[in-house]
Amino acid sequence: MKPLLFVGVSSMRDHAGQHKLYFLADLLGRRGMPVTVLVPDLAENRAFFADKPHVATHFYPTGSALADAWRKSQFVRTRRWSAIWVVGVGVRSYLWRSGVGRDVPIIKDFDEFPSMIASFGRLRRIYLRWIERRMVAQAQGFTCASALLENVVRQQRPHLGPRLLRLPVAISASEQAVDPALVSQLKKTAAGHPVLLYVGSVNRFYEDQLDEIIALAGVLRRRSSPARLKILGGGPDMDYFKAKAAAAQAGEILEFAGHVRREDLASHLEAADVLVFPFAANAFNLSRCPTKAFHYAAANRPVVTNRTGEVAVLFGDAASYYPERDVEALADRCEEALARTDPYENGIPLATLTWEARAQTFSDWLSAQGWTPAA
């Protein structure tokens, strides 16, 4: 028997691509597919797989990028695999082909192209472009989260045909349960003020989005709006952005609510009146498929965002769009959403947003390529 091997690079908290590894491996294993997972020896990884005996899980101690790559390549040599699915971009995620049988396909998952992150230094971006091209050249199959990623890979590998699968991110259906008591408590805390909610890490990596939320608070204050803005999420730069908000005199309008448990997120979204998501059309945003958008869609609340990339593909005409970086227009769309009296319905079925749907798509694709292990 040759199992399907999933090779990770971090944890779900620190790397968006790990979401696919966690949930695809779990769901395929539950269906009886022989699945093995190789992930770093981190507490979050051990906790997730602790109650999943249907997944053969192996942990490796983390070290330098070269040490991690060597350990992974050594593990790959321990047996034969139907295919090897790899997450992450960098030397740390690179499998040396000498350790992989020539008949074993490597499937590279691209959740984003980090070389497109403008805040990275020039030398780091040169390195990332180089390793991205190496990974594209090495793999026999690909899963790509966005149209831009698919197009870039196909430009470099024009004869891939069906060996590339568009596989967006998703959310867990089990985490979408709303707690009425928590929703009631949140609405009581709002004291009658309509709530505009932004969900995301408080990190300088997302400074353009957070700056726009702070600027929106300033516009709402100037307009004497009764609405309150809430940023839901933790991060290393909380004090930095709180200082920015204070300088913008957004104190009574804007609240930094901090991190919440994943199982409580659906209730926070349900309690909000409008969900806000600045998403400018830069190269990095066009390359990625943000999980946040799928949580917003599952909440079935009015969404105000930019008509950009996979976010616009997901919402279609169900969202309210504004010209990017036009904060006055952002405020207009938010106020229009608050003024609606008809029931909101985005028309996006929850089943299309889930990892269960992605697992079925991925399984069908593996079978079509002849890469499915025998049960």
Average pLDDT of the residues in 73-100: 86
Q: For residue 252, which of 210, 222, 232 has the smallest C-alpha distance? A: 222
Distance CA 257, CA 270 (A): 16
Per-residue pLDDT band at 128 (split at 50, 70, 90): very high
Mean pLDDT for 68-75 is 90
How many Cα neighbours within 13 Å face the side chain of 339? 7
Q: What is the dihedral of CA 320, 324, 330, 332, to 10 degrees?
A: -80
Of 4-13, 25-34, 143-152, 336-345, minimum mean pLDDT range: 4-13
- pLDDT at residue 31 is higher than 80: yes
CA-closest candidate to residue 117, choices 274, 231, 236, 286: 286
Residue 100: the pLDDT is: 63
- What DSSP line would sit under 250-304, residue for residue? -TTTEEEEE---HHHHHHHHHH-SEEEE-----HHHHH---HHHHHHHHHT--EE
Q: In angstroms, rounded to a whole number, what is the distance separating the alpha carbons of residues 359 and 129? A: 29
Quote the mean pLDDT of the chain.
Answer: 92
The pLDDT of residue 120: 85
305 vs 113 pLDDT, higher one: 305
pLDDT of residue 15: 72
Q: What percent of the chain has pLDDT over 90?
A: 77
* Average pLDDT rounded to a whole number, residues 100-106: 79
pLDDT band at 51 (very low <50, low <70, confident <90, very high): very high
Question: Given pLDDT bands bounded at 50, 70 and 90, which one contains residue 290?
Answer: very high
What is the mean predicted confidence (pLDDT) over 322-330?
Answer: 97
Residue 255, pLDDT > 70, answer: yes
Q: Quick check: 375 pLDDT over 60?
A: no
Judge whether residue 99 has pLDDT over 90: no
What is d(CA 180, CA 348) in angstroms, rounded to the nearest whole number? 22
Alpha carbons 106 and 99: distance in angstroms, whole number: 12
**Residue 165: pLDDT band with limits 50, 70, 90:** very high
Mean pLDDT of the 58-63 span: 93
Lowest mean pLDDT among 76-80, 161-165, 328-332, 368-372: 76-80
The yes-or-no verdict on residue 183 having pLDDT over 70 is: yes
Domain-by-domain residue ranges, the chain? 4-170+354-369, 174-351
Neighbours of 242 (CB within 10 A): 17
Binning pLDDT at 50, 70 and 90, where does residue 139 land? very high
CA distance 372 to 330: 47
pLDDT in tens, 83-95: 999 999 999 888 8
Q: What pLDDT is attached to residue 11?
A: 77
The CATH classification number of 174-351 equals 3.40.50.2000
Correct CATH for 4-170+354-369 of 3.40.50.300, 3.20.20.480, 3.40.50.620, 3.40.50.2000: 3.40.50.2000
- Inform me whether the pLDDT recorded for 64 exceeds 60: yes
pLDDT of residue 98: 62
Looking at residue 101, what is its pLDDT?
63
Tens digit of each residue's pLDDT (9 = 90 or more) over 192-234:
999 999 999 998 888 999 999 999 999 999 999 999 999 999 9
CA distance 353 to 105: 28
**174-351 shares the fold of 4-170+354-369:** yes
Mean pLDDT of 97-125: 84
